[in-house]
Amino acid sequence: MNAPFPDSTTARPADLRPLKLLIAAPRGFCAGVDRAIEIVEKALERYGAPVYVRHEIVHNKYVVEGLKAKGAIFVKELDEVPADAPVVFSAHGVPKSVPAEAQRREMIYLDATCPLVSKVHRQAERLIEKDMHIIFIGHEGHPEVIGTMGQVKPGQMTLVENIEDVDKLPFDSDEPLAYLTQTTLSVDDTREVINALEWRYPNIVGPKAEDICYATSNRQAAVKELASDCDLVIVVGAPNSSNSLRLVEVAERLGTPGRLIQRASEIDPAWLDGVDTVGLTAGASAPEVLVREVVDGIAALRPVQEETITHTEEKMVFKLPRQLTE
């Protein structure tokens, strides 16, 4: 349990000046995360507990623990799942070998892969059909990268993380190359890597529309909008959440210190010393309840004046798998 904050009416000295709290919009859950969580909840309703989930459905401990309480069991691999039990694949996507194994074992499985990640998977397939080698921009070891690279045969896709990796690529300038990207990257960093690829390989083929998802781009843009007016930016998100980490980096690139926290109990009161304005946002896997928890946590330390800074409104909704709607 997280330790409760002291009662805000008695805990703070009366002479503390008010703190302006700029809350970014959009923030928190994206359509892909909403869909993934709903898939697990609907599967529990349809099949009853337990429903197994391969890996974290999304990168958020609070969400995972909430689903566990409803009857979800999280596992690392399919061999931990009884043959007659339903299993859900996480929003980050899985290698082709995973659903193939589930089909071989005649398992009931539901794919919660974000449709925008699935779009990248299909792009990879089409590029391989055209005999092109794919340069994939992403973070090594991230589940989305593992899933995307698992859509093709070994040796058909090469991972790069930065400009230095581009410099080390062994391909000739006239080889048939294409690039794709992880959906949760820094917009600015990715553009630098793409520029390096296009400079070194003038004929490299890119996607018609950028692969970085709308939610990642919007949350980064919202932080850019408020960071310069803040003395500190707090991001609610998990340390293994790529899009949350990128939000901290966006703030810091603009010269504003950034802090990543999962719960309000992680706030260090010293962070607020000499601070007049704090920006607050949340990664795409963090629920709004945790944002409000952090607001209350800050208010227990300083009087707070809230203001929402809206970059854009999001109306994206993704359909559920057919198994849950028929």
> Which residues form the catalytic set?
144
- Cβ distance 191 to 100 under 8 Å? no
Instruction: With H, G, I as helix, E, B as strand and everything else as coil, classify residue 138.
Output: coil
Nearest CA among 67, 120, 60 for reference residue 93: 120
- C-alpha angle 122/126/131, rounded to 5°? 145
- Cβ distance 207 to 135 under 8 Å? no
Q: Alpha-carbon distance 184 to 139, whole Å?
A: 10
Q: Which two tokens stand for residue 285?
A: 């896997």
Q: Which residues, listed in sequence order, are joined to residue 111 by a DSSP beta bridge?
A: 89
Q: Which residues, listed in sequence order, are joined to residue 137 by a DSSP beta bridge?
A: 160, 181
Name 5's Cβ contacts closer than 8 Å, sequence gap at least 6: 11, 264, 265, 296, 297, 300, 301
Tell me the longest C-alpha to C-alpha distance in the chain. Answer: 70
Handedness of CA 320, 323, 324, 326 (dihedral sign): positive
Strands 277-282, 157-160: pairing kind: unpaired
